[in-house]
Amino acid sequence: MADDTLRLQSYALSDVGRKRKVNEDAFLRDDELGLWVVADGMGGHAAGEVASQEAVDTVFGMVKRGRKTLDLTGAFSEEKARAAARLLEGAVQAATYMVFAMSELDRGKAGMGTTISAMMSFGDYAVTAQVGDSRIYRVRSTSVSQLTKDHTLIAWQLEQGLITEEEAQRSRHKNVITRAVGNRDYVQVDTTVFELELGDLYLLCSDGLYGYLREEEIPVVAAPGGDAAVRAFIDLANDRGGRDNITAILVEIC
């Protein structure tokens, strides 16, 4: 939970989009706990929506129980940062094991999985946990930064210098994910700790939104703030095609 110097207020919306029949995205926003999560499920026969919701519920339960055992209040310290990162990473690992176990027990859900982009606040700091290709952006003044790294084949190819940005735009492998929650009983989770600043905006979203969105547009669309901003993000994605489920959480630091 944020201390008295900063207040964190979030707004969220999810939409099935214009092409899909089922919304396989799930999200959580809990300003009191200081936890925000977006999950984009995958897998046929309703397995994607099961995976994403189960993952979100598991992360929530683990963080809610874990925060009670940790002292994350007061002044920042490296020890508190490590503890916060371990807690959120452990929650994602628990979700991974839970989704994998469910798929093992129900052959109709074999291979189901989900992305996870999670953010947890503690004092004037926050930690992110990332698996897959949902994203977290930060708007600070007029500057936009992607805080998470996509776990996709294209991102890996770009990092290795195997393809150019132009080739990436034309690639047929845009949807190939290299890490997911639930495909196995363990997954590597990326965590990052950073300081929050008054006026920051954090956008957590599924690829159904950012696939239609240019980074430089984020401050403009987010400018109204509140429910109007998340509705504007959803409308933008639908107006530009809405081929996938669309989820947006906007966390305002005020």
Convert the pLDDT of each residue in 39-98 to its tens digit: 999 986 669 999 999 999 999 999 999 999 998 888 899 999 999 999 999 999 999 999
Q: Per-residue pLDDT tens for 30-40?
A: 999 999 999 99
Do 226 and 211 contact (CB within 8 A), yes or no? no
User: E-strand spans in 31-115?
Assistant: 35-42, 113-114
- pLDDT tens-digit series, residues 136-171: 999 998 899 999 999 987 766 766 777 777 766 777
- The per-residue pLDDT for 3 is 43
Span 213-230, mean pLDDT?
97
Predicted local distance difference test score (pLDDT) of residue 65:
97
Give the model's confidence band at 4: pLDDT under 50 very low, under 70 low, under 90 confident, else very high.
low
User: In sequence order, what are the beta bridge partners of 9?
Assistant: 252
Total-model pTM: 0.93
CA 128/CA 229 separation, integer angstroms: 22
Q: How many CA atoms lie within 13 A of 114 on its CB side?
A: 39
The second-level CATH assignment, the architecture, of 8-253 is 4-Layer Sandwich (3.60)
Q: Express as a percent the part of the chain with pLDDT over 90.
A: 80
The pLDDT value given to residue 45 = 61
- Domain spans in the chain, listed from the N-terminal domain onward: 8-253
List all residues 6 or more positions away from 209 whose beta carbon is below 8 Å from its beta carbon.
Answer: 233, 234, 236, 237, 246, 247, 248
Cα–Cα distance between 133 and 123 in angstroms, integer?
27
Distance spanning both ends of the chain, measured CA to CA: 14
Task: Tell the burial category of 69 from Cβ atoms under 10 Å away from its Cβ (0-12, 13-18, 19+).
Answer: exposed
